[in-house]
Amino acid sequence: MGKNLYQKVFESHIVGKLPSGQYQLFIGTHLCHEVTSPQAFAMLREEGLKVKYPERTFATVDHIIPTTADARVRPFKDPISEEMLEHLEKNTRDFGVRFFGPDAGEQGVIHIVGPEEGVTQPGMTVACGDSHTATHGAFGAVAFGIGTSQVADVLATQTLAMSPLKTRRINFTGKLQPGVTAKDIALAYIAKLGVNGGVGYAYEFAGPVIENLDMEGRMTVCNMAIEGGARVGYCNPDEKTFAFLRGKPFAPKADKWDEAVAYWKSVASDPDATFDDEIEIDCNKLEPMVTWGITPAQAMQLNENMPKISEFSGSEQKVVREAYEYMGWEEGGKMLGTPIDIAFVGSCTNGRLPDLIAAAEIMKGNHVSPTVKMWVVPGSQKIKKEAEDLGLDKIFTDAGAEWRDAGCSLCLAMNPDKLQGRQVSASSSNRNFKGRQGSPSGRTILMSPIMVAAAAIEGKVTDVRKYIK
């Protein structure tokens, strides 16, 4: 009986079985940022421990770093943010950990920096103190978020205690139509399976639609696995994966390349692999998706009506009613035409170069509505430079958008980028929770980068397909 990728990678990283019944799992790559690592490094100092394999840990600053040039001058105006970055700089220096810092032009969102540096590779286990670590599963890695105490465990031992997950393969069939993107795929599977549908599962994303996505699109699909309850989401590695990694700074060099590719191919799910569950999503008729509520699962195709509370069971009715009360929408109404105040393109979900290129194509020759502020935030300093080399910054600024520096920005507003009051944000990020974007009463509508661009132009949720030539 064949095995799937998750089973192969998990089993090949087992160090031993623990008395609890869990397995001690070796972590191939450990990624750190400034929010969940200071306490972990402090634990090591208290115990007099070193980082077990410093060459396997990589760090950057993303959550707290400002995205405007004046605010990035050190020391930061916010003393807590400055202190967090100082801790990260000191910890990486003291413990011999590679730091992708802003002074070197290597800084960015951790889930964008890892792949662009070639740190993320097929067949690895990847851990990070961040919810959206499943992003790295796009490369055929088994990647998952961990808590602060587990960050300390990995630093000290390079292992974690884990139980194997069940596996669910989601086959995306058909073909995406113009204006429909990887973000719409992600919102579609979460809407179908629910925020708890993936609890206890690793998701394998498969089928012709996934195979036709570029690596950046696959990262978007995997990035949001946690929003559907799945701790792990992955795609099988293929020639696109290998081409993306070739020549990256930390990818295998020429003399090791063929050997690496042979291993990477071997970890892909076998043709006769079995799964605990398998579902199919037909993408032929998939339209651009938008969220209407306060979880990513509260999403719908653009031209649908919002659901009525009576359509849900008793326990679900409470969450739906809460969503309508918070967002201020009328049940059964349309999201199409909903006014917005802020348009945000960026985040670990959609801050990559193809996202910026696609949004710029919509903005070209158009202008941001006078009622809207648009922020475009590249996912890394390297992406920012690549985008500027292509002239994307000028397209955005000519259209009236703000071209920012790299960081998490408005995705979670642990930095100066925040909503004010009841503002409505059209956002390419991954969470629309209450207060997520900095204001306790701010409202977030998740959508693709091109949908954000179209909304910025018209000042309201609109159909991007009218802008596609």
The rounded percent of the chain whose pLDDT value lies above 90 is 99
The CATH classification number of 5-162 equals: 3.30.499.10
Please give the Cα distance from 318 to 180 (Å, whole number). 31
Answer yes or no: CATH 3.30.499.10 is held by domain 293-466: yes
Q: DSSP 3-state helix, strand, coil percentages of the chain (rounded to 5)?
A: 40, 20, 40
Q: What tens digit of pLDDT does each residue of 182-204 get? A: 999 999 999 999 999 999 999 99
- Axis crossing angle, helix 381-389 with helix 353-363, rounded to the nearest 10: 40
Question: Domain boundaries in the chain?
Answer: 5-162, 166-282, 293-466
Q: Calculate mean pLDDT across residues 74-100.
A: 98
* Structure confidence at residue 1 as a pLDDT band (50, 70, 90): confident
- Write the DSSP symbol of residue 50: -
pLDDT value, residue 112: 98
Q: What tens digit of pLDDT does each residue of 132-164 get? A: 999 999 999 999 999 999 999 999 999 999 999
pLDDT value, residue 469: 83
Q: What tens digit of pLDDT does each residue of 260-317 get? A: 999 999 999 999 999 999 999 999 999 999 999 999 999 999 999 999 999 998 889 9
- Containing 288, the helix (H) or strand (E) segment is none
- Containing 176, the helix (H) or strand (E) segment is none
Check the annotation: does 222 bind a ligand: no
pLDDT value, residue 214: 98
Mean pLDDT of the chain: 98
- Write the DSSP symbol of residue 356: H
* Planar angle of CA 412, 87, 56, nearest 5 degrees: 85
Q: Calculate mean pLDDT across residues 22-46.
A: 97
- pLDDT tops 90 at residue 47: yes
Please give the Cα distance from 136 to 381 (Å, whole number). 19
Q: How many whole angstroms from its chain centre is CA 175?
A: 23
Check the annotation: does 32 bind a ligand: no
Give CA separation, 434 vs 322, 327, 431, in Å: 10, 9, 9
Q: What tens digit of pLDDT does each residue of 168-178 get? A: 999 999 999 99
pLDDT value, residue 66: 98
* Structure confidence at residue 325 as a pLDDT band (50, 70, 90): very high
Please give the Cα distance from 269 to 59 (Å, whole number). 30
- Write the DSSP symbol of residue 306: P
* Structure confidence at residue 413 as a pLDDT band (50, 70, 90): confident
Please give the Cα distance from 293 to 295 (Å, whole number). 6
Q: Calculate mean pLDDT across residues 239-250.
A: 98
- Axis crossing angle, helix 148-157 with helix 38-47, rounded to the nearest 10: 50
* Total residues found in the chain within this entry: 469
The domain 166-282 is placed in CATH, from the list 3.20.20.140, 3.40.50.1980, 3.40.718.10, 3.40.1060.10, at: 3.40.1060.10
Q: Calculate mean pLDDT across residues 16-45.
A: 97
CB distance 185 to 212 below 8 Å: no
Q: Would you say the pTM of this structure is higher than 0.85?
A: yes
* Structure confidence at residue 405 as a pLDDT band (50, 70, 90): very high
pLDDT value, residue 97: 98
Does this chain's domain 5-162 share its CATH topology with 293-466?
yes
pLDDT value, residue 314: 84
pLDDT value, residue 315: 87
CB distance 300 to 306 below 8 Å: yes
- Write the DSSP symbol of residue 165: P
Which of 125, 140, 145, 170 is CA-nearest to residue 23?
A: 125
